[in-house]
Amino acid sequence: MTSAGKFSKVAAGKSNSKWNDCLRRYGELYQRENDPRSEFNRDYNRILHCTAYRRLKHKTQVFFATGHDHVCTRMEHVNHVSAVSYTIAKCLGLNTELTSAIAIGHDLGHTPFGHRGEYILKSLYKEFLSEDFWHERNSLRFVDKLETLEDPNGKDRNLCLTYAVRDGLVCHCGEVDDRVLSPRDEVRDLYGIVEAGREAPFTWEGCVVKIADKIAFLGRDIEDATVMGIISREERNDLVQDIKRQLEIKLAEVNNTSLMQHLILDLCKSSEPEEGLMFSEQSVELIRVIKRFSEERIYNSPRLTCFKEFASLVIESIFDTLRDFYSPRPMDIIKGLKNAVPYYPSLAGTFLDWMIKYSDVDLETRGKRGHANDVVYAIDRENDYVQSIVDYISGMTDTFALKAFRELTSFDYAPELWEVRRGIARGTT
């Protein structure tokens, strides 16, 4: 909800001229009697309980499969963004329920293995579908078309989120350290946004999450890189001294808490509804210095080279294997996957379930399983089949992708399985 603050008159609320557009849902959502929740709070709960949110705990933020309990995962990052955006919204008088709903859902479309996974899927998407893949648009796709919850009758239904939340998801990326950020005025077809990071959100609350997404990782990536031995304490101390000398900012340490505190307070002090959300020039330069340090010392570290190559091998192997099952006769796809389950139980089994839930390949089984969500794929179309593979892979956790890859590299049943796959390719299975 909103509180007293200098942005309270432009907050997402009943007095805002955008209010009705903000509340418009993507599809019709059933109603519950005596529900005390606001529409945005209901969105928050629906995202919280969906499977894509649960999987964030096993998705890479920067460092993958570390086995270290205290290194940031994608879920922890999402919670950091939620905390930062809540604090900013509360201070400015904006709608904290809306910022919380956008924040908790903003990375649902992120791939396994972090930005490396996104890079790989982007390449595959361009090659096979001649389109661009970007995780913000994939977040929108997931909440609109792929994520479901059981309704009171036990039927799977789409999430049907509000426009303001969906808009915040697809517009959450883009640079924010070199310009003033204000919401756009017009209602857009969100699927008409075709370029990543270029569109301002529709609400001030969406703008807050866009900024919070950048604030949240600056210090944490440096902390994690120190834990992993990629940067040293001495390098961090040198960074602190450089900041003090160049920018005259008194930071005792470059870590998550100190940077969050400094940037949140600076943003709230510097921003005005008439001018927009902005940092002071000093803080803009601070963000640039830290991003440059992280780019040089962390993200391009030679220590990450093997990880990037391995992530490529895992994702491309899974993609190629599933693509081999394609047939212009949809039931042959299902037959092939069923035959492969003994050999690839996790991969073939769950992809078979994915096909039944989201495609038109077997509507009778789909109905018996209680899938009342939208049909997404016409599986006799090869492009739809490729799209289904990309969607399926992008929803994976790191750990599941590794499990599937281990199945692919096991040769216990290889002769029989390759005969099955060759039969599919020849159309004789």
> pLDDT 10s digit of each residue in the chain, 429 long?
444 699 999 999 999 999 999 999 999 999 888 899 999 999 999 999 999 999 999 998 988 766 778 889 999 999 999 999 999 999 999 999 999 999 999 999 899 999 999 999 999 999 999 999 999 999 999 999 999 999 999 999 999 999 999 999 999 987 665 679 999 999 999 999 988 888 999 999 999 999 999 999 999 999 999 998 999 999 999 999 999 888 888 888 899 999 999 999 999 999 999 999 999 999 999 999 999 999 999 999 998 999 999 999 999 999 999 999 999 999 999 999 999 998 899 999 999 999 999 999 999 999 999 999 999 999 999 999 999 999 999 999 999 999 999 999 986 655 555 565 555 444 444
Q: Domain coordinates of the chain in residue numbers?
A: 8-108+147-300, 304-426
Instruction: Count CB neighbours of 246 within 10 A.
Output: 11
Pairing relation of β-strands 148-150 and 156-158?
antiparallel
CA–CA distance, 218 with 255 (Å, rounded to integer)? 8
CA distances from 85 to 178, 206, 227, 278, 338 (A): 19, 9, 26, 14, 46
Residue type, 190: L
- Quote the CA–CA distance of 272 and 349 in Å, as a whole number: 54
Q: What is the DSSP letter of 157?
A: E
Residue 73, strand partner residues: 60
Q: Are the CB atoms for 243 and 236 separated by under 8 Å?
A: no
Q: Helix, strand, coil % (nearest 5) of the chain?
A: 60, 5, 35
Identify the residue whose tokens are 């005390």: 36
- Whether the Cβ atoms of residue 319 and residue 309 lie closer than 8 Å to each other: no
Q: Can you read off the two tokens belonging to residue 103?
A: 């924040």
pLDDT at 198: 86
Residue 393: is it exposed, middle or buried by C-beta count within 10 angstroms (0-12/13-18/19+)? Answer: buried
Instruction: Report the candidate in 369, 294, 290, 104 with the shortest Cα–Cα distance to residue 212.
Output: 104
CATH 3.90.25.10 fits 8-108+147-300, yes or no: no
Dump pLDDT digits (tens) for 139-191.
999 999 999 999 999 999 999 999 999 999 999 987 665 679 999 999 999 99
CA gap 124, 141 in Å, rounded: 17
The candidate with the shortest Cα–Cα distance to 147, out of 283, 27, 245, is: 27
Residue matched to tokens 């939340």: 165
- Express each pLDDT in 230-272 by its tens digit: 999 999 999 999 998 888 888 888 999 999 999 999 999 999 9
Q: What is the pTM of this model?
A: 0.93
* CA–CA dist 192, 234 (Å, integer): 48
- Residues 361, 379: Cα–Cα separation, whole Å: 6
Cβ 221 vs Cβ 254: under 8 Å: no
| Cβ pair 109, 137 in contact under 8 A | yes
391 to each of 31, 188, 285, 341, 350, how far by Cα in Å?
29, 24, 38, 20, 13
Q: What pLDDT score does 175 carry?
A: 66
Residues 6+ apart with CB under 8 A from 23: 39, 162, 163, 164
User: Measured at the alpha carbon of residue 300, what is the angle toward residues 298 and 301, in degrees to the nearest 5?
Assistant: 60
